[in-house]
Amino acid sequence: MKFEYKKNIDDVVTRHNKLWRKNFTNKILVRIDIEGLSIVDLDINLMQYVPDYKKIFSLYKDFHKRRASILDDSLPVARASLGSAALSQFFGGKIEFTSGGAFSRPVIDDLKSFDFTSLEYDPENKWIKYQMNMVKYFTENAKGLFPVCVSEMLMGLVGAELLCKTIYTDIYVNPKLLMKLIEKTVDFYIKYTDEQRKYIEKYRGGFFEMFDVWLPGNQIWNGIDTYGNCSPDVYLKFGKPFYEEIGKYYGGQWMHMHSNALHLVKEVAKTKYISAISIFDDFNSPRGFDKLDEIYRDANGIPLHILCTKEELLLGMKDKTLKRNVYYWCTSGVKTVKEANEIMEKVYEY
């Protein structure tokens, strides 16, 4: 299988395979955004068009075509998704469409009186059918051009927060019922992800995933956004066992978190079936790159995904101080494709 919008895809997938399998600990991977072609800007732009997945697909197609000459370590993945703030529509909740994507209202006011049987996976649900149609449309129209991935995983407290209004007090008031709710999100997302993947062909024995990565085997992208508001003890009780459960099922997971959750890196790194830890910078929190020494220490050998600038990337390579076993996302400072490819020549030598 070839993809027109990534000429060096086999080389890039080989590099991803080595890094996520911990066989590339002395090297780095680099994604380069150039001015006018930022994936973050694309994602923001996409969401204003939901639920029009044909329009969303056309924007992905234009974006990846314009980036086709960039020989970095990113992969031109199109994510079939309504965004990261909608879940209850699968269980009768009201869904709204805003300029920031889809948003669904919680359906649980009180865990004690809630009927948990209403959270079963229903392939006949209107929005599940919509999602499958979206995945099929993406895969059919992207064939030979660029790869497609499933919608993001919203399990654990991440999913619970989208379903229930009281999860933060339930941590203390209704812990057993909250864990029951979390288990329901795990069960749902296994079925939901597996059904989507029926329409997506594996590439070299793995799947493409969010953040423009390729993961070996059946591994998944996952995230712990909500846990950033909580202590490590909350993650250990209401997170770790469930992430290990789904990680075991899929054979591994690429774990996304925000930079407000740096206090959790050490415990996430101790979680079984973690193939990488990704730190996405928040406006009101420390930058991952500025805290890389302690993140690197706490990750204890697990490959990292870290945002940086062109200047930080080049200076680190020049001085031989840039930490290895990391996938760097260069988000600013590069103006042209030519400049990006010249930087990549230095990356390959580093």
pLDDT (mean) for 66-85: 96
Q: pLDDT above 70 covers what percent of the chain?
A: 100
Omega before residue 51 within 30° of 0, cis: yes
Whether 259 is covered by a domain: the verdict is: yes
pLDDT in tens, 25-36: 999 999 999 998
Residue 27 in any domain: the answer is yes
For 231, 262, 263, 332, 344, the CA distances from 291, given in Å and listed in that order, are 19, 9, 11, 19, 24
* CATH at residue 336: 3.20.20.210
User: Is the pLDDT at 305 greater than 90, yes or no?
Assistant: yes
Quick check: is 3 in a domain?
no
Supply the pLDDT for residue 241.
Answer: 98
Residue 152 counted as domain residue: yes
Count up the domains in the chain and report the number: 1
Question: Could you tell me if 146 and 76 are in contact, meaning their C-beta atoms sit under 8 angstroms apart?
Answer: yes
Q: What is the pLDDT of residue 25?
A: 95
If you search the block for the tokens 């066989």, which residue do you land on?
23
Q: Taking Cα atoms as reference points, which of 121, 123, 43 lies closest to residue 83?
A: 43
With respect to residue 2, please indicate whether it lies within any of the assigned structural domains.
no
Model confidence band, residue 338 (pLDDT cutoffs 50, 70, 90) = very high
CA separation (Å) from 45 to 41, 48, 58, 99, 211? 6, 6, 12, 8, 16
Is 1 contained in some domain? Answer: no
CB-side neighbour CA atoms (13 Å) of 10: 2
Question: For residue 81, which of 51, 36, 110, 105 has the smallest C-alpha distance?
Answer: 51
pTM recorded for the entire structure: 0.97
pLDDT tens digits, 152-208: 999 999 999 999 999 999 999 999 999 999 999 999 999 999 999 999 999 999 999
Q: What is the domain range of residue 149? A: 9-349
In a domain, 4, yes or no: no
Q: What pLDDT score does 312 carry?
A: 98
Is the residue at 316 inside a domain?
Answer: yes
**What is the structure's pLDDT at 44?**
87
Task: Show Cβ contacts of residue 27 under 8 Å, excluding neighbours closer than 6 positions.
Answer: 15, 18, 19, 324, 325, 350
Supply the pLDDT for residue 283: 87
